[in-house]
Amino acid sequence: MTDVARPGTKPARPHFSSGPCAKPPGWAADHLATGSLGRSHRSKLGKSRLVHAIELTREILGVPATHRIGIVPGSDTGAVEMALWSLLGARKATMVAWESFGEGWVTDVVKQLKIDADVVKAPYGELPDLHALDQSTDIVFTWNGTTSGVRVPNGDWIRDDREGLTIADATSACFAMDLPWDKLDVVTFSWQKVLGGEGAHGILILGPRAVERLESYSPAWPLPKIFRMTKSGKLIEGIFKGETINTPSMLAVEDYIWSLEWAKSIGGLTALIKRADANAAALDAWVQKTPWIDHLAVDAASRSNTSVCLKFADDAVTGLDDEGKLALVKKIASLLENEDAAYDIAGYRDAPPGLRVWCGATVETADIEALGPWLDWAWSQARG
């Protein structure tokens, strides 16, 4: 194999992790407002900052006034579990999975809650036939497969006259993709993804049909306190007005607010999508000219613009089994981290062996462009 010269230019910020993701450009800890720190989250000041975070979320994402937005514990996982445990069971469910997080929701619903459900799957890199899903059922799916690099391209397949609820785990899609709010009854995400916030907090967005379900249906199983969203058959509105179920980190909230204000300052959702698209395009340009790598996502129309997952070209790893490919991934990732050229780009542990590069809006396109030669160098070193 021909040696590749060590590149002379490194990404200015080698942060390509798919969660927690890179901080927005210009971020620094001393930029954060600190007046709410050391104060009760239930104080006038604390609650006002939580409300501010909710209002900015609504403004930037374009969430309609008909939808409630709540800050909940447990990251995106907590938000999804709140929805699954509280809403499912009233009718049959359809669980859609094409990557590991979707598989996790299948396990929770089928094996833990034991709900009557159809399970629709597709292999890593592909998307199932969404138009064929039974919309008389509650449909649970990931909008963007963080571990497969496959996203739902649009909401055209969701009928306006659907009988069931649509529950979308959109944790690596919000702030990078345009979501059809009128077609989504539940949306969840965590701010540690596209905006590079700190971990442990999730966002739960409920449309009118989800609220109606909560107020008309009680699950057969007991609900833990952190999952309860109703009292005496009525929605606990305070959850969606800054009165969190448990104590949030106000430092994490202030960090999220700073990121939201940064997003607003550059042009809001339109600008965020444009940045993510440019990053994904820059990485794709490198993939197209590089013989040893390829996209895991088969169809470009459903390829993610945030969590871009890559696999080794078949003829580049002839004779290597998955264990050998995984060892190659680890070596490439280690070489790049030791050089401070790229951090955390190994593919997800349950996905096919490969690389994963975060291309969300907080990453600079120039850093993606600088990454390509380093990937070639690391491949040469690892295979040499």
Q: What is the band of 130 on the pLDDT scale with cuts at 50, 70, 90? A: very high
In a domain, 13, yes or no: no
Are 224 and 85 found together in one domain? yes
Q: Does the pTM exceed 0.85?
A: yes
Q: What is the pLDDT of residue 383?
A: 92
Are 363 and 236 found together in one domain? no
In a domain, 245, yes or no: yes
Are 67 and 158 found together in one domain? yes
Residue 296 pLDDT > 70: yes
Max Cα separation, the chain? 71
Cα separation, 160 vs 370, in Å, equals 45
Are 188 and 90 found together in one domain? yes
Percent of the chain clearing pLDDT 90 (strictly above): 99
Are 152 and 286 found together in one domain? no
Total tally of structural domains belonging to the chain: 2
**For the residues 186-204, what does the mean pLDDT come to?**
96
Residue 2 pLDDT > 80: no
Strands 144-145 and 150-151: antiparallel
β-partners of residue 303 are 150
Q: What is the band of 3 on the pLDDT scale with cuts at 50, 70, 90? A: confident
The residue from 237, 263, 289 where one domain ends is 263
Cα separation, 127 vs 141, in Å, equals 11
Which has the closest alpha carbon to 218: 109, 116, 90? 90
Are 86 and 111 found together in one domain? yes
Are 204 and 309 found together in one domain? no
Are 214 and 357 found together in one domain? no
The CATH number covering residue 218 comes to 3.40.640.10
CA–CA distance from 33 to each of 16, 188, 336, 372 (Å)? 26, 26, 34, 37
Are 179 and 256 found together in one domain? yes
Neighbouring C-alpha atoms within 13 Å toward the C-beta of 112: 11
Helices (H), the chain: 44-61, 75-87, 100-106, 208-216, 250-266, 268-288, 322-338, 365-383
Question: What SS3 class is residue 267?
Answer: coil
In a domain, 27, yes or no: no
Are 149 and 278 found together in one domain? no
Domain of residue 293 covers 268-383
Are 228 and 91 found together in one domain? yes
CB atoms within 10 A of CB 135: 17
Are 304 and 361 found together in one domain? yes
| CA 367 to mean position of chain CA atoms | 21
